[in-house]
Structure 1
Amino acid sequence: MKEKKEMIVKTTNKTTFESLFGFSLDECKRWRSLVTLLCRPMDPASLGIMRIVFGLLMVIDIPQERGLGHADVRFQQNVCYFPFFNFLQPLPIQWMFVVYGFMWLGAFGIMLGFLYRLSCFLFMVPYWYIFLLDKTSWNNHSYLYGLISVMFFLCDANRYWSVDGLLWKSCRNSHVPLWNYTVFRFQVFLVYFYAGIKKLDLDWMFGYSMTNLSKKWVFDPFRLLMTDDQIDLYIVHLGGLTLDMFAGFLLFFDKTRPLAFFFVGSFHFMNSQMFSIGMFSYTMLATMLIYCYADWPRLLFRKCPQWIKIVLPSDDAIQTSSYCIYSKEDIKPENRKKKTNESKSKDAPSNKPPPTAPGFTHQIWTFIVLTYIATQLVLPFSHGLTKGYNNWTNGLYGYSWDMMVHRWSTQHIRITYVDKKTGDVGYLAPDAFNNERHSRWSAHADMVKQYGTCLADRLKQYDLEDIELYFDIWKSLNQRFQQRMFDPRVNILEAEWHPFKKTSYVEPLLVDLSGWREKLDQIKDQLDNHTDVVFVADFPGLYLENFVQEDLSNTSITVLAGEILVELVDRKENYTLSVNQSMQLPPDEFHNIHTISEVPSCYMYMFVNTTDIDYEKKFREYEEYFNMTKNCTDNCAEKSSNLTKKFANDPKRDHYDQRIAKREERQQKIQLPAWSKFFKFISFKLDIFRRSFTLIGGAVKCMVLQQNFEEFLTSVYESESSAGNNSPEPGTSPAEISVNI
């Protein structure tokens, strides 16, 4: 009775703050009390479930989004790469498969909780190596996976439902310090909250970042009450902003957690259906459980039928741990004696009293945790320090939690080289010596510099030893005008780039013209379906060189702001245009657009592709005849003969047939029953896994037997080709396909 009374008094003496947050402010004011708080003993159950789910998701993700299934294409030889550190380079492809193999084994070990710390190391090191190899593939969720791997490496997530617990009694069902949960809860909270802060950007708040997302089927319920434009603005943009800002808070507090589970869970489910982001949505769904009480798995498993408890973890008393700090109340002799008696049949490792005061180890771990937290708080806003990575947006995409805020479109990339010895000028295809995956390089000054250096090295095999390289890259950010990103007059090979200095060759984003976007949308809405328009802005003193193709009839240019000079190169004629003035541009000729005003010029190209119009017209006519022949009930032979005669000399007839065949194939896929679609989906995924492990096994086998791995790859490609699967030609590199000198 006395114990019960003391418990009531202790509970009622809690402050409102302590009731809400689970700790008091006094515990954070002194170092010793803070260490004691962060090393408070916690049930390992919830952390163990998180470990199992994350390991399983990575086992599934590595052959797919992490790139194991197509590593032979991704890491080809003689291709330019964009590593974070220039000394990092891909290993020979055979060894890259070995690296992937270790990473997969690490993920599998994390899932099982087998040799846990070693498994975390095997996953973490290859993961960060592959991640840092290629900045063009960075995104926020890939970065988050890497952080989670570090957190698991630091934490003791093998204390519950693990193989290690079966092998070693000391770690079986033992307490974990509170900081194990703190780092995960903090990191997930930060992902949401910082994503919300980044969405306070005006482009996001006014709906320019993610347009046309409302057309996805997941928004069908909203379409009953709202238009697509309203869904894009209020649900996607403003709703996404609100959710990110408050999701972490809603998850943290007990009373609001059910509400958070509904809205945050719905959000991630919708994302999984709209975007190809691998296991990210399911990982974030799993992280929601880390906010629940740490013993929720035990409470759930206790309600399971007896027959299923055979495969579930035992519900033994939790062991004490030297990594935790216990209150003296918890280790009173009578309490320890009681717990010892309860644990005797459960192989309790020892009767050594657990620590009741912070030791050196506790303080070291607390320092590591606080350092990690401080780093993650500062890093997303470190752009004032890492100025070299700032372009139109701050820093490299992928670690700032600015998810979906920036949408890019690329209008034009021209790479010009000048041979210093001969003065010869030539042009390179933008993807020369470049894997198709590496498309993000053109929006970042550091990667432009890396690509230029790599191109200069690769071009030496074409006897171009001493060259200059110039990049003319036109992009639009969030529906603004197309404009230059980098100064086309700067030789990239001689340009200075430093991670902590502002890059001189980056042209500024013309934010003063952002207000034009509404008017540009109005202009687009007034055009018919056959007319295309491109909006361009350029800086004073620069010019745009362009060529009007022969099939682009009725091409005109209209000035919206500033003043330009139109130079018709072949005709040697110049025309000056001011605001609202237009002129027709002759087809099949070059022209230059010079900005001669003191302020940036804005103009638009309007053109009609007559070739496409004629093609669509003939295709519709062919399609009509084709359907008449296909669905005929009488005089079929005559109708088929008429079809053949009418289109006998049409060079596009084979293309018409291919287009109709593809359309019918798509319709057949749509009409397939759900079970058939499911089995096709599973078969496709299994093929990826089969290919992944075939290539890993082949790499190891060739190493052990000292066989030629290229010959093994060739045999795999031949096997896939005979089976009807698409595979790269052995030995083919992008450089052999796309170099155009």
Structure 2
Amino acid sequence: MLNRLLFQRIDNSSLIIFRIFFGILISLECFGAIATGWVNRNLIAPKFKFPFIDFDFLQPLPGNGMYFYFGIMGLMGICIALGFKYRASMITFTTMWTATYLMQKTAYNNHYYLLILISLILCFFPAERSRSIDVKLNPKIESNAMYAYIKWIVVLQLFIVYTYASIAKIYGDWLDFSTIAVLMHSKRNYWLVGDILQEPWIHTVIGSVGILFDLLIIPALLWKPTRKAAFFLSLFFHLFNSIIFQIGIFPYLSIAFSVFFFEPETIRKIFFKSKIPLTTSKVIIPNYKNILLIVAAVYFLTQLLLPVRHYTFEDDVLWTEEGHRMSWRMMLRSRQGKGRYKVVDKNTEEVFIINPKDYVSRSQERKIFAYPDFAWQFAQYLKKEFKEENRDVSVYLENSKISINRKPYEPFIDSKTDLAGETWYRTKHHSWILPSPYIKSEK
């Protein structure tokens, strides 16, 4: 049964059309990042980019180099859509996009991480075997079939993403819809819908649908009786997100995934009417079966464990942020922070009060007061800056307070801790993050 599920040969129309959609969308994302100023704001203008910890060696290209960098990624998207040098184009884009993701996290987005995973998976899929320039150049590679496991890998990845996204929403601030109220408050000036989005009943609908949609959409798309209804619901849901939250290509990428849930013959008739239909559905066991199963098992086990790693840390992830990233905890909170950075020369005891605006952008400034890893990295950055003046310093964040989901500000980071002298732990709670007041109040 497993062999039939994974190694049956099925029509590859869904993979081919997804390749085309994917290439177009990532090309728009990359060229759009240049046109909207995203590249300049996050990768060119700031003096310090706040890379993922352990990836300081990944630095943006100097000058206007990142414009060319994103231009190359955009061209790779066009090559992928056309199926020109597909494998090389896919690997190049995946490598460059992953580097971009790791070299700055001020504009972190779960969708950027998802794009890495999907790109990595596509590197191994035979998406160039039809309707591609590669086939024109080498007709021998043309095929109208693919293994069924290609479909199921995509489906399982999406199931993990949506299920964890749904589970993460089952917490107090989402269930009482206060998180939705905070999210919608920033949309109050939207033309036509701004006032409606402030209505409590709208918050109730959005919050309830958010949990149920993420939990049920994949099963609903898989089950034939509900597939069409689920598709149109998905279409509305993602277009709503695109209009209201303006999150780039990702609602459209989510819609594009739908092609893997419909019957292959249906996809062929819609997009490739002249494509030769697949008349047989043989089960053919590839010689790499065991390697595939081992690699897939390791990959998906990792995907299952990463989103729950925050349970291994002390305190609440909503407060500490430890284990938040790469966990599909999407749109769950709004954080604001405040405080004062104080630098003390260890030798002269001279004190310097730091104005963050002299070192970081406005968006970065918001992060260094509200997120512990940003606060730690900024302290390390200040230590390095002062070291260039032959000063050995300590760095303190005084009067540190944060507000989550517009609740009253609460003390956040221990003001007696020299952040410049602290070590960052990857799998251990940082004691200089003060205990969550929300857990105390619940007790």
With structure 1 as the length reference, what TM-score do the two structures score? 0.55
Following the alignment from structure 1 to structure 2, what is the Cα–Cα distance between the partners of residues 474 and 360? 58
Pairs within 5 Å for 1:57-76: 57-65=25-33, 69=37, 71-76=39-44
Structure 1 partner of 2:329: 402
Structure 1 partner of 2:90: 120
Structure 2 partner of 1:229: 200
Amino acid at match of 2:133: V
Residue deviations 1:659-706 (CA, integer Å, cap 9, x gap) = xxxxxxxxxxxxxxxxxxxxxxxxxxxxxxxxxxxxxxxxxxxxxxxx
Amino acid at match of 2:7: C
Pairs within 5 Å for 1:589-600: none
Change (3 A) 1:448 1:35: farther
Could you tell me how far 1:45 is from its partner in structure 2? Answer: 0.3
Following the alignment from structure 1 to structure 2, what is the Cα–Cα distance between the partners of residues 71 and 272? 20
Could you tell me how far 1:393 is from its partner in structure 2? Answer: 4.5
Residue deviations 1:124-180 (CA, integer Å, cap 9, x gap) = 000000101112222111111111111111211122322222222233233111111
Q: Check the 8 A contact 2:44/2:64 in 1, yes or no.
A: no
Of the candidates 291, 313, 316, which is equivalent to residue 261 of structure 2?
291
SS at match of 2:80: helix
Change (3 A) 1:372 1:475: same
Amino acid at match of 1:470: Y
**Cα root mean square deviation, aligned:** 3.0
Pairs within 5 Å for 1:454-493: 454-461=381-388, 463=389, 465-472=391-398, 473-493=400-420
Could you tell me how far 1:71 is from its partner in structure 2? Answer: 3.3
Following the alignment from structure 2 to structure 1, what is the Cα–Cα distance between the partners of residues 273 and 355? 59
2:8 maps to 1:40: yes
Structure 2 partner of 1:373: 300
2:378 maps to 1:451: yes
SS at match of 2:121: helix
Q: Check the 8 A contact 2:319/2:436 in 1, yes or no.
A: yes
Structure 2 partner of 1:88: 57
Following the alignment from structure 2 to structure 1, what is the Cα–Cα distance between the partners of residues 258 and 194? 25
Pairs within 5 Å for 1:649-728: none
Change (3 A) 1:266 1:391: closer
Amino acid at match of 1:169: P
Structure 2 partner of 1:360: 287
Pairs within 5 Å for 1:281-680: 281-301=251-271, 314-318=274-278, 326-327=282-283, 356=284, 358-384=285-311, 392-395=319-322, 397-410=324-337, 412-438=338-364, 439-461=366-388, 463=389, 465-472=391-398, 473-512=400-439
Q: Return 5+ residue gaps in structure 2 as ranges.
A: none
Q: Check the 8 A contact 1:71/1:96 in 2, yes or no.
A: yes
Change (3 A) 1:78 1:316: closer
SS at match of 1:417: strand
Q: Check the 8 A contact 2:46/2:361 in 1, yes or no.
A: no
Q: Check the 8 A contact 2:30/2:74 in 1, yes or no.
A: yes
SS at match of 2:181: coil
Could you tell me how far 1:52 is from its partner in structure 2? Answer: 0.7
Amino acid at match of 2:162: Y
SS at match of 2:303: helix
Following the alignment from structure 1 to structure 2, what is the Cα–Cα distance between the partners of residues 161 and 35? 28
Structure 1 partner of 2:47: 79
Could you tell me how far 1:67 is from its partner in structure 2? Answer: 8.2
Following the alignment from structure 2 to structure 1, what is the Cα–Cα distance between the partners of residues 21 and 259? 11
Q: Check the 8 A contact 1:44/1:176 in 2, yes or no.
A: yes
Change (3 A) 1:458 1:210: same
SS at match of 1:499: coil
Following the alignment from structure 2 to structure 1, what is the Cα–Cα distance between the partners of residues 393 and 318? 26
Q: Check the 8 A contact 1:47/1:290 in 2, yes or no.
A: yes
Following the alignment from structure 1 to structure 2, what is the Cα–Cα distance between the partners of residues 136 and 381? 23
Of the candidates 207, 211, 217, which is equivalent to residue 241 of structure 1?
211
Following the alignment from structure 1 to structure 2, what is the Cα–Cα distance between the partners of residues 468 and 123? 41
Change (3 A) 1:295 1:435: farther
Amino acid at match of 2:410: Q
Q: Check the 8 A contact 1:196/1:244 in 2, yes or no.
A: yes
Following the alignment from structure 1 to structure 2, what is the Cα–Cα distance between the partners of residues 475 and 360? 56
2:197 maps to 1:200: no
Change (3 A) 1:116 1:401: same
With structure 2 as the length reference, what TM-score do the two structures score? 0.89
Following the alignment from structure 2 to structure 1, what is the Cα–Cα distance between the partners of residues 90 and 213? 32
Following the alignment from structure 1 to structure 2, what is the Cα–Cα distance between the partners of residues 70 and 477? 26
Change (3 A) 1:420 1:227: closer
Amino acid at match of 1:408: R
SS at match of 2:344: strand
Change (3 A) 1:495 1:282: same
2:49 maps to 1:49: no
Change (3 A) 1:119 1:68: farther
Could you tell me how far 1:499 is from its partner in structure 2? Answer: 0.7
Following the alignment from structure 1 to structure 2, what is the Cα–Cα distance between the partners of residues 139 and 235? 24
Q: Which is richer in helix?
A: 2
Amino acid at match of 1:236: I
Greater Rg by CA: 1
Paired positions, count: 435
Could you tell me how far 1:109 is from its partner in structure 2? Answer: 1.2
Structure 2 partner of 1:15: none
Amino acid at match of 1:89: L
Could you tell me how far 1:450 is from its partner in structure 2? Answer: 1.6
Q: Check the 8 A contact 1:46/1:295 in 2, yes or no.
A: no
2:130 maps to 1:182: no
Q: Check the 8 A contact 1:173/1:316 in 2, yes or no.
A: no
Could you tell me how far 1:447 is from its partner in structure 2? Answer: 2.6
Greater RCO, 1 or 2 (C-alpha within 8 Å, sep 6+): 2
Change (3 A) 1:104 1:261: same
Could you tell me how far 1:488 is from its partner in structure 2? Answer: 0.8
Range that drifts further, 291-300 or 433-442: 433-442
Q: Check the 8 A contact 1:79/1:433 in 2, yes or no.
A: yes
